Structure 1
Amino acid sequence: MAPLVKICGLSTEATLDATLEAGAERVGFVFFARSPRHLTLERAAVLARRARGRAAVVALTVDAEDAALDAIVGAVAPDMVQLHGRETPERVAALRARLGRPMVKALGIACAADLDAVPAYAAVADEIMFDAKPPKGAALPGGNGVAFDWRLLAALDLPVPFMLSGGLGPRNVGEALRVTRAPAVDVSSGVESAPGVKDPDLIAAFIRAAKS
């Protein structure tokens, strides 16, 4: 079965259309002011309406307050919420109940010890995303274009689905899938020509490589 693909950090109609036409099952919109991919609620709502019914809309947030999350859900009506900060398992469970949306919890991985937190999150989240830990001094918790040792996930046995992210691109996604057997992959900077600028050709190439 071909893996599910999510293209994250989309910001224009042209790149969203390219993503949908290439067959991605999920599209991600970023709500984090420090990110070059950050969207206003108004902009995201326009794009979400364009994607509705063709792909699942995912709202990516980082340690957001309740009021901000309520505003995102009210304006954008995402199908899923991705928590990409330091949210605790208790916070994930509370937001799942509050927002009434499936929760994807991103966890930064650099070594085997980082997997110790997985069971607690897998008990409350609907899906786990394994991303590379940001480099020292990085301003962003994700989208940094770095990978981790995929072999760390080779023996995973999770009660919920997981998604692989971090440093993926058209050239290495096939190998990443072979090593991890991940049911889903996520990419942002790996399909960009500049930070925050998605490239339709790279998007199409990534999805082809992942699906093949």
Structure 2
Amino acid sequence: MATVAIDRGAPGAPRVKICGLRDAETLSAAVAAGARYVGFVFFAKSPRSVSIAQARDLALEVPPGVAKVALVVNPADEDLSAICDAVPLDMLQLHGSETPERVAEIRARFGLPVMKAVGVAGPEDLPAIARYEEVADQILLDAKAPKGAPLPGGNGLAFDWRLIAGRNWTKPWMLAGGLTPENVAEAIRLTGARQVDVSSGVESAPGVKDAGRIARFLNAAGVTA
């Protein structure tokens, strides 16, 4: 198994993932601000989608200690093989309707740690977390996409953070969904999250990351580069 990011930032500071990076400038801004993970989206419907060649070029610029994550949605084995063969990755993020069995299969076949996204809208969505904890290395708790939404994540929506306040799970978990520089500190306070993920919340337009908002997000989360 590949390793993930080493400790960076202030002692006790949450680990931050900047997802949906598409260019070297904002990748550099994320790393300089103290991001612990950087995410590349392989989902054609997303405005943040990158080609394998783009992702490879970007991944080669990431310094040691920052985990490179590929976000995929219900991927076929041949698609994962093409990505993993070309892009130096540290983790796969499964953001579709993958079953626990499929998560375990991907983890075993491709030899990379797996983060599984679980959509949350209400308390009825929380029991799924335990099923995925058995097979994934990390869990990402994201706002459940509205019915009929074209994207499974990155919609700028938040769920009621009180649903997970004070809860503990056996695997590391990451909070996502509707986080911004303006609300991330409150989200961390309410949930106790030690890891947070942001994409649309640090953009000036869909798919266009803003270096200033990235820096403000990391600062608001308590991270010092």
TM-score normalised per structure 1 = 0.98
Cα distance, 1:54 vs structure 2: 4.5
Following superposition, which runs of at least 4 residues in structure 1 exceed 6 angstroms of deviation?
none
Match of 1:86 in 2: 97
Higher fraction of helix? 1
Amino acid at match of 1:143: G
Amino acid at match of 1:75: A
CA contact (8 A) 2:166 2:192 kept: no
The count of residues paired between Structure 1 and Structure 2 equals 212
Match of 1:19 in 2: 30
Structural RMSD (CA) = 0.9
Deviation by residue 1:37-87 (Cα, 9 ceiling, x = unmatched): 111000000000001414110000000100001111111121000000000
CA contact (8 A) 1:11 1:29 kept: yes
Match of 2:54 in 1: 43
Match of 2:133 in 1: 122
C-alpha separation in 2, matches of 1:89 and 1:34? 24
Match status 1:34 vs 2:34: no
Amino acid at match of 2:109: R
Match status 1:131 vs 2:142: yes
Give me the identity figure in percent: 58
DSSP-derived class of the 2:56 partner: helix
Match of 2:13 in 1: 2
C-alpha separation in 2, matches of 1:109 and 1:202? 25
Match of 1:70 in 2: 81
C-alpha separation in 1, matches of 2:82 and 2:218? 31
Match of 2:8 in 1: none
Match status 1:55 vs 2:53: no
Deviation by residue 1:97-147 (Cα, 9 ceiling, x = unmatched): 001000000010000010011111001100000000112331100000000
C-alpha separation in 2, matches of 1:158 and 1:144? 25
TM-score normalised per structure 2 = 0.93
Match status 1:190 vs 2:201: yes
Match of 1:168 in 2: 179
| Unaligned segments of structure 2, at least 5 residues | 1-11
Matches within 5 A, 1:104-123: 104-123=115-134
Amino acid at match of 1:79: D
CA contact (8 A) 1:20 1:54 kept: no
| Unaligned segments of structure 1, at least 5 residues | none
Cα distance, 1:155 vs structure 2: 3.2
Match of 2:160 in 1: 149
C-alpha separation in 2, matches of 1:52 and 1:9? 18
